[in-house]
Chains A and B, each alone.
Chain A
Amino acid sequence: MNDLLQSLGVSLALALVTTVILLLLTPPLAWWLARSSSRLRAPVEALVALPMVLPPTVLGFYLLLAMAGEGFLGEAWNGLTGTPLAFTFSGLVIGSVIYSLPFVSQPLAASFRTTSDTLLEAAAVLGDSPVRRFLRLVLPLHRRALVAAGVLGFAHTLGEFGIVLMIGGNIPGETRVLSILLFDQVESLNYAAAHITALLLLGFSLLALTVTYSTLSRRP
């Protein structure tokens, strides 16, 4: 039971930190993806969507190389903080942000695409600069999509396994999240504990999706 609570704590902390970072980073990116006519848009969109199709282990493998002591991420991190990045909670957060990015950016971009030009023009004529228009009009207009994207990002981070295994390992209280705990429990044939862990993850995922879909289907 102690293991379960400890892993639940790590999982929730990871998902929370990841979601907060994603909700800060993603809206401008999604707005650019939804509205830009730049030639760079398609390649960037593909890059952002990559984690949806790539096996998590592939992503995890490259991230592991980058986060290693001599990898560019690991070296930069070590220079900044004096600590290694691989097999730490911070490393997990970076991996999760990349891995969950498309799950936050895609619903947001889809919602942003529906923004009426007339409303943006009205806001401009009323004195709002592009940045103010984004903060005062676009974000409030799409607040349901923001909530839905946040919940989806949170739930998806909670359920990740492959990347965590590659870059986080299995350190109790630091990097052992619920999905890893479940794997351990099954490997050691502890089915009673595995049932509880699995049920917890199942219930939470179902709840998150229900919240997402009911939020999105309500009228703006």
Chain B
Amino acid sequence: MSLLISGQLARRSEFKLDVALDIPSSGVTAIVGSSGSGKSTLLRCIAGLEGRGSMTVALDGEIWQDASNFVPAHSRALSLVLQEGALFPHLSVHRNLLYPRTRRRGFCLTPEQVIARFGLTPLLQHKPSELSGGQRQRVALARALLAPARLWLLDEPLSALDGPARRALAPELGLLCRDLGLPVIYVTHTLSEVLQIADHMVVLDRGSVLSQGSPAEVSIGLSHALSEDIDLGGILACRFHAFDPSHNLSEVRVGTTAMWIRGDLSSLGINLRVQIPADAISLSLHRQEQISVLNQLPCTIRTIGQPDSGSVLVNLDCEGQTLQARITVLSQERLALATGQRVYALIKTIALTTRETRDDVAAQ
């Protein structure tokens, strides 16, 4: 069972999209790419808002559009949350929630359920213009849950929000995606938004698929292919261990090795994914005692990549998982690094927490 999307979409003789995707129709699929990569266009094709006549879209064998067929957007059993929420300005929150047509086949909640889940009771009589950005987006998510759907589409649902509103809504949205039991396609340019929840990832670049697979596979593949603006590095699966409030640090375990990450991660659950940019890792031949870096992970060098502009990518095995470090060719020569060698990956804790708006790691 899967969602098929294929075809080419040109606009003004320029390719907007050229894809052949087979996305599992279960779990959360993240479509990641910078602006202009075609990720929103892809989503609009799935929704039936674009790509008529040129793109093929089929869900579990049911053709939504191809060269000769086209099921209009209102007849597709899907739900789409748009970037800015797109609440109807003349209707109260309550009337917005009652807007969806419920005659379509598919899964949906009742108004009472979503009002309770999103805590909307105090807002029901307000007009959208009286709400904050975060509140508007919660109403939009709630409204989308009231339209019967077999597929849930999210188009940058957090991008219009400021830092605090985003941090408040992100974990809730993550839980929702996991609880729904519907396939979710989540489009974003911010990897951290989907890092904890994605089961499958598709990376788009200039209208074509650069990479797809599990988040860990994708991140490793990408370090070779890109990229100025997304330094994915590696993604480590780890377990939450404890939070130390006096230092504002969370201790997580990668296998048996302890690692510290800034902030309280207890709300994210036991199983976490930590993204570590290749540039944030230094390599050392020995454990360093007199150094400020807290995280020193013992690793084995698997491969060393080709030198590129004076730097190399070193692929590391860390407790069976994969990390990537970008170091200078000079360092590689001085340390005489070679395949199979034991090294320590030094990761500044601060590097895992400070870049919270673009690709902030582990911290939500």
Q: A residues touching B (Cβ–Cβ < 8 Å)?
A: 116, 118-119, 121-129, 132-133, 136-137, 140-141, 143, 220
Contacts A/B (CB < 8 Å), 12 sampled: A118-B86, A119-B86, A121-B49, A121-B86, A124-B73, A124-B74, A125-B73, A126-B99, A126-B100, A127-B103, A132-B74, A141-B90
The 7 closest A-B pairs by CB, nearest first: A127-B101, A122-B86, A124-B73, A126-B100, A125-B80, A126-B147, A118-B86
* Set of chain B residues within 8 Å of A122, measured between Cβ atoms: 80, 82, 86, 88
**A141 touches which of B73, B74, B86, B88 (Cβ 8 Å):** B88
Q: Which residue of B lies closest to A122 (CB)?
A: B86
* Set of chain A residues within 8 Å of B144, measured between Cβ atoms: 126
Q: How far is the CB of B2 from chain A (nearest CB, A)?
A: 21
Give the residues from 280 to 302 in chain B that come closer than 8 angstroms, CB to CB, to chain A: none
* Additional pairs, 18, CB under 8 Å, beyond known A123-B88, A136-B99, A141-B90: A116-B86, A118-B84, A119-B86, A121-B82, A121-B86, A122-B80, A122-B86, A122-B88, A123-B99, A124-B49, A125-B73, A125-B79, A125-B80, A125-B147, A126-B79, A126-B100, A127-B74, A127-B103
Q: How far is the CB of A6 from chain B (nearest CB, A)?
A: 42
* Set of chain A residues within 8 Å of B47, measured between Cβ atoms: 121, 125
Q: How far is the CB of B71 from chain A (nearest CB, A)?
A: 12
Measured between alpha carbons, how far is A220 from B91 in the docked complex, in Å?
10
Measured between alpha carbons, how far is A126 from B79 in the docked complex, in Å?
7
Assess whether A140 is in contact with B74, with CB atoms less than 8 Å apart: no
* Set of chain A residues within 8 Å of B90, measured between Cβ atoms: 140-141, 143, 220
Query: Chain B contact residues (Cβ within 8 angstroms of A): what range?
Result: 20 to 34
* Set of chain A residues within 8 Å of B103, measured between Cβ atoms: 127
Q: How far is the CB of B244 from chain A (nearest CB, A)?
A: 45
* Set of chain A residues within 8 Å of B104, measured between Cβ atoms: 127
Q: Does B305 contact A (CB under 8 A)?
A: no
Q: Does B262 contact A (CB under 8 A)?
A: no
Q: How far is the CB of B178 from chain A (nearest CB, A)?
A: 23
* Set of chain A residues within 8 Å of B99, measured between Cβ atoms: 123, 126, 136
Measured between alpha carbons, how far is A14 from B48 in the docked complex, in Å?
46
What string of 1s and 0s marks CB contacts (under 8 Å) between B64-107 and chain A? 00000000111000111010101011110000000111111000
* Set of chain B residues within 8 Å of A128, measured between Cβ atoms: 74, 101
* Set of chain A residues within 8 Å of B143, measured between Cβ atoms: 126
Q: Which residue of A lies closest to B78 (CB)?
A: A125
Measured between alpha carbons, how far is A124 from B91 in the docked complex, in Å?
17
What string of 1s and 0s marks CB contacts (under 8 Å) between B113-140 and chain A? 0000000000000000000000000000
Q: How far is the CB of B280 from chain A (nearest CB, A)?
A: 38
Assess whether A124 is in contact with B72, with CB atoms less than 8 Å apart: yes
Assess whether B49 is in contact with A132, with CB atoms less than 8 Å apart: no
Measured between alpha carbons, how far is A15 from B14 in the docked complex, in Å?
54
